[in-house]
Amino acid sequence: MVARTDQATDPDLLAALLQARRGTAFFARKLNELSDVELDGDSLLPGWTRRHITAHIGYNARAVARLVEWAATGVETPMYASTAVRDHEIEFGATLSPIALRHLFDHSAVHLNVEWRDLPADAWRHKVRTIQGREVPAAETVWMRTREVWIHAVDLDNGATFSDIPAPVLERLLADITGAWKTRGTDKGLVVKVTDRDLTFGDSSSASATVVFGPLAAVVEWAAGRGSNGVTAAGPGTAAANGTVPAAPKWI
């Protein structure tokens, strides 16, 4: 008989699964608060309605589940055939009827949760490949999903804010984002300081750096390209000297 509880035993992985499931529940709550008509409204992402956000989250669960199935069976099942296929899928999903769109979210979330639950403890180390071509252990799928549901719950523009996201998720998000900047070399001359945590990213030894600072939730919101409310900039540059917060470098 298939186990009805997680087969994973690592305490850090179990804690990560809990954050992913809480994020899914939070997204579900913000989605369910919206009427069918309100699904047609704009999201916080340019060019996307709330329908696009919901379709993306639904199909993302299916894509992540394919990676978990890969880890379980050893049979390669990519997230998507291509980014073009993924984008087409989202555009199609946005045209679904409200009830079909809601069912897509609900059913895909349950499917992913079952795949996680039934993955044997040793299979979490098996390597899979993301759509970006990175080879990662199956355990990484938990974080991949966590950041999607928490951030896009805010993007639904239904009252959720980055302050609703748990601090451990925010801290890892900020580490991911600033890490991506460093890899691309787009973080030159930029320092990010979190005023309510002992966190600093960037080259703080540079005397000419622009420093962007603020509380954790506000800094992550800025770094993710969702606005600059609650953050401040300082430095020798004209914009920073005038208190203007620069746009964050591209993340993804």
The helix or strand, by DSSP H or E, that contains position 213, with its residue range, turns out to be: strand 210-214
pLDDT at 237: 59
Amino acid at 166: P
- Is the pLDDT at 243 greater than 80? The verdict is no
DSSP classification of residue 214: E
Across the range 10-33, mean pLDDT stands at 97
- Is the pLDDT at 36 greater than 70? The verdict is yes
Q: Which pTM value belongs to this model?
A: 0.92
Domain ranges of the chain: 11-160, 167-241
CB 210 within 8 A of CB 246: yes
Across the range 186-211, mean pLDDT stands at 86
* 167-241 CATH fold: Nonspecific Lipid-transfer Protein; Chain A (3.30.1050)
Across the range 32-45, mean pLDDT stands at 97
Which residue is listed with tokens 């973080």? 187
Nearest CA to 101 out of 25, 21, 35, 148 is that of 35
For 106, other C-beta atoms within 10 Å of its C-beta total 15
| Backbone angles phi and psi of 166, in degrees to 5 | -60, 145
Mean pLDDT, the chain, whole residue set: 93
Which residue is listed with tokens 């299916």? 62
Predicted confidence (pLDDT) per residue in 124-135, tens digit: 999 999 988 899
Architecture (CATH level 2) of domain 11-160: Up-down Bundle (1.20)
pLDDT at 2: 53
Predicted confidence (pLDDT) per residue in 78-95, tens digit: 999 888 999 999 999 999
- Is the pLDDT at 1 greater than 50? The verdict is no
- Is the pLDDT at 212 greater than 70? The verdict is yes
Q: What is the distance between the terminal CA atoms of the chain, rounded to a whole angstrom? A: 41
- Is the pLDDT at 143 greater than 90? The verdict is yes
pLDDT at 238: 47
pLDDT at 207: 74
Q: In 3-state terms, the chain is what percent helix, strand and coil (to 5)?
A: 55, 10, 35
